[in-house]
Amino acid sequence: MIVLCMACMMIFDYFLMASKGLSYLLVKFINGILGFSTLCIIIDSWSKFSLPSFLQPISLINKNIFLHLGQISMSVYLLHVICGSITRNILAQFGVLDPNIQFTLGLLISAIGPVLFHRTFRKNRLFLYSIGEAK
């Protein structure tokens, strides 16, 4: 589903960039609207189909993973830039300047770091208050 949406956005982007009369910012704005609309249509139509019985357990696992990521999304949103920047600075301090290594490690750390941080501090009321989850 996500791959289909990404393919649609790439196609939209290719055809919109081919028209020479539009500015880059306008093309990206239109592409964002079209991509979001495509994703909404795909999600709406996807829910009308039932999965085969052998894929039901996989669907339940994926549902639980996405529910968990949705619950911690504010932590990931607020901390992914910090984790990625710290990783890039540490790599630069140790002389690792290869962009491929910096991108790969930065991507991994910025994806995994906030999840681990949230799991570590989820009982701390100050942390929960700072991300809007305190009750």
Cα–Cα distances (Å) from 66 to 56, 70, 72, 94, 97, in that order, read 15, 6, 10, 36, 34
The pair of structure tokens assigned to 97 is 């300047």
Query: What pLDDT sits at residue 94?
Result: 95
Range 6-22 average pLDDT: 69
Residue 59 or 74, more confident? 74
Query: What pLDDT sits at residue 84?
Result: 93
Q: What pTM was estimated for this model as a whole?
A: 0.55
Query: What pLDDT sits at residue 24?
Result: 73
Cβ neighbours of 106 (radius 10 Å)? 19
Range 50-68 average pLDDT: 69
What is the residue extent of each domain of the chain?
Answer: 1-49, 52-135
Query: What pLDDT sits at residue 112?
Result: 94
- Dist. CA 133–CA 76, nearest whole Å: 13
Query: What pLDDT sits at residue 50?
Result: 66
Q: pLDDT per residue over 102-124, tens digit each? A: 999 999 999 999 999 999 988 88
How wide is the angle at C-alpha 52 spanned by C-alphas 68 and 6, nearest 5°?
A: 55
Per-chain mean pLDDT for the chain: 80
Residue 83 pLDDT exceeds 80: yes
Q: What backbone torsions phi and psi does residue 79 show, to the nearest 5 degrees?
A: -105, -10
